[in-house]
Structures are given as C-alpha cells and as structure tokens.
Amino acid sequence: MFKYRIKLAVFLNFVCALTILCCQCLACTSTNSKPLLISFSADSTSIEFSNIDRPGLLQLKNTPAKDSVLNELIAVLQTPSETDTTIKEIPLAGTMSLTDSNIVFRPQKPFVKGNDYLVITYLNARFGTADQILKSQLNTTVKPTQVLLTR
C-alpha cells in the first residue's frame, strides 16, 4: 500500500509540473490581440504597418542594418490588372522608415490610382498560437501575411 502512495505522489508531482509548464508556455506566448494592420496612408502616398508586436519593433529599432532587415521582412508588389496583361507582378522600389509605433513604406514612384498592390510581410508572423502548441498543431514554417491593397 505504501508503494502505491509513493507512485501516486510522484505521478501527482509530474502532473503538477506539467500543468505549471503549460501555464508558463501560455503566458510566454500571449500576444497582442490586435492583428497587424496594413493600409494606405490618408493621402495614399505610402503604406503603413501598424499594431506591430512591441518586442519585434524594439528588436528592429536596435538592429544596425534596419533597411536591409526591413526589405527582407516586407515586400510590396504591383500586380497586373485584368485589362492590362503587359504588366507582370514586379516589386516596387521605395524606402522604409521606422517610427515609434509603425513602419512606413514610401515608393520611389507614386502609387497609380486603380492599381492593385500585393503586400507580403513576415511582421508578427508566428509558428503557432498557444492553442496550437497545446494541440500539437504547430506549423513547420512561418507563413507571411499577404494583403491586396487597391489604390
């Protein structure tokens, strides 16, 4: 009987430790519930990225080569329209600036009214959420966020 009590105590300690570990994982992976917002500025001369995770934004600010890192994280492509088949999906050249709370993309040539622009970014990208961690449904790769903006 004493032997079973020891085994039960060890099992309960294991379950308790596992529960604490799961709670810590949930606490570490709790994120800002606001999704990443990608939109044209009020005057449609730039694209703004807001609601960026604070840790990621701080890491970008502390990176010495901000321009090259931002260019790897964000791509803006001009997409062909249904009427004009001569245009291919081409990346737009421009500059990125990092402010206190967002990132702004300003193209070298102005956006054309009526054209579509595909924005692909890895900002706020994750392998999985807390629920996916607990259910063992993690992704094997980080999936980018894609938004189609029409000027």
Contacts of 122 (CB under 8 A, 6+ apart): 72, 73, 74, 142, 144, 145
Query: pLDDT value at position 7?
Result: 55
Both 72 and 49 in a single domain?
yes
Same domain? For 38 and 24 the reply is: no
In this prediction, residue 76 carries a pLDDT of: 93
Do residues 97 and 142 both lie within one domain?
A: yes
Compute the distance between CA of residue 104 and CA of residue 38 in angstroms, rounded to an integer.
10
Render each residue's pLDDT in the chain as its tens digit; 151 residues: 555 556 555 454 443 333 444 444 444 444 445 789 999 999 989 999 999 888 888 888 888 877 778 888 899 998 876 666 666 788 899 999 888 888 999 999 999 888 889 999 988 877 666 777 777 777 677 788 899 998 8
What gap in Å lies between CA 45 and CA 64, rounded to an integer? 27
**99 and 144 co-located in one domain:** yes
Q: How many domains does the chain contain in total? A: 2
Are 111 and 67 members of one domain? Answer: yes
| Ranges of H-type helices in 30-104 | 54-61, 66-73
Position 30, amino acid: S
Whole domain around residue 63: which residue ranges? 34-150
Q: Which residues pair with 147 in a beta bridge?
A: 119
H or E element that contains 116: strand 116-121
Clarify whether residues 15 and 60 are in a common domain. no
- Token code pair at residue 145: 């966020």
Q: Do 1 and 38 belong to one domain?
A: no
Do residues 40 and 106 both lie within one domain?
Answer: yes
| Domain identity same for 112 and 126 | yes
Residue 86 and residue 42 share a domain: yes
58 in the same domain as 124: yes
CATH number at residue 124: 2.60.40
Torsion angles phi and psi, residue 73, rounded to 5: -85, -25
pTM: 0.68
pLDDT of residue 125: 79
- Amino acid found at 110: P
